[in-house]
Amino acid sequence: MDGGEMAAGEMASDAMATDGMAGMDGMEMGGMDMSAMTRFGPLFGMWSIMMAAMMLPTLVPTLVNYERLMASADGTRAGWLGVLGGYSVVWVGVAAIFAMVQIGLLRAGVIDAMGIAQSTWIAGGLLIAVGGFQFTRAKEVCHGVCHAPMNYFLGHWRTGFAGGMRMGAGLGAFCAGCCWGFMALGFVGGMMSLLWMGLATLFMVIEKLPQIGHYVTKPMGVVLILGGLGVLAYPYLAP
């Protein structure tokens, strides 16, 4: 093989290597453009979808209670839609807040592009903080409203679509205060983790069950605190 052929072969190899690296980058960044995780628009859309997936199951008891008032009081289908709309507006706002927080944490180097905490101290501390919140008066008040929406309706009854929006927004605000911690734990397991989303939804649904909701809040807090301590201790216990 003469010098010209060798040079051509080296150029072809370099081109193949470059293409291969680009392909690997495409696999890592493609499918889901990771650069989108640094921009508000895509993050807001992602959080909105996750909020809908996680919060709609917990909204079912609220809408069922309003259905009962449609039969026994002056509730209307327009009011029912208003409750759904008001609740949704609040959670869209929560999605916007979480999107901005994620961008801030990413730029500060606290989390990576997948939304996972970069330090065990941060991950463990967040688990402990959310677990501790389960024992606070704020959690008790918010959970009390979120757990018994009928009592809220009876105390804040408004008719028509506008009234439903107002009540839905109020209920949404209390539920956001009750459940924000489970959302924030996504920064421990990763924003794109279906396991985290499923567990967060399960926790929120269990807390709203009429028969057991009040009895699981503090045990969940204990589990989260122990989990946080385990995360902090792991680097020192691992072989």
Coil, strand, or helix at residue 111? strand
Collapsing DSSP to helix, strand or coil, 15 comes out as helix
pLDDT at 132: 97
117: three-class secondary structure by DSSP: strand
Q: Among the listed ranges 55-64, 86-95, 157-166, which one has the minimum average pLDDT value?
A: 55-64
| 145-156 pLDDT tens trace | 988 889 999 899
| Amino acid identity for residue 122 in this structure | I
pLDDT of residue 134: 95
CA separation for the pair 67, 60 (Å, rounded): 11
pLDDT at residue 39, rounded to an integer: 81
Q: What is the pLDDT of residue 8?
A: 46
For residue 140, pLDDT over 90 is answered with yes
Mean pLDDT estimate for the chain: 82
pLDDT of amino acid 43: 87
How far apart CA 162 and CA 164 sit, in angstroms, is 5
Mean pLDDT of 81-95: 94
For 111-128, the pLDDT digits (tens) are: 888 788 888 999 999 999
| Half-sphere exposure of residue 133: CA atoms within 13 angstroms, side-chain side | 18
Query: Quick one: what percent of the chain has pLDDT higher than 90?
Result: 41
Average pLDDT of span 49-67: 85
Token output for 170: 């109020």
What is the gyration radius of the CA atoms in the chain, in angstroms?
24
- Give tens-digit pLDDT for 7-39: 444 544 444 444 444 443 433 444 455 566 678
**80 pLDDT higher than 70:** yes
**Position 36, amino acid:** A
**Considering the entire predicted model, what is its pTM?**
0.78
pLDDT above 90 for 69 = no
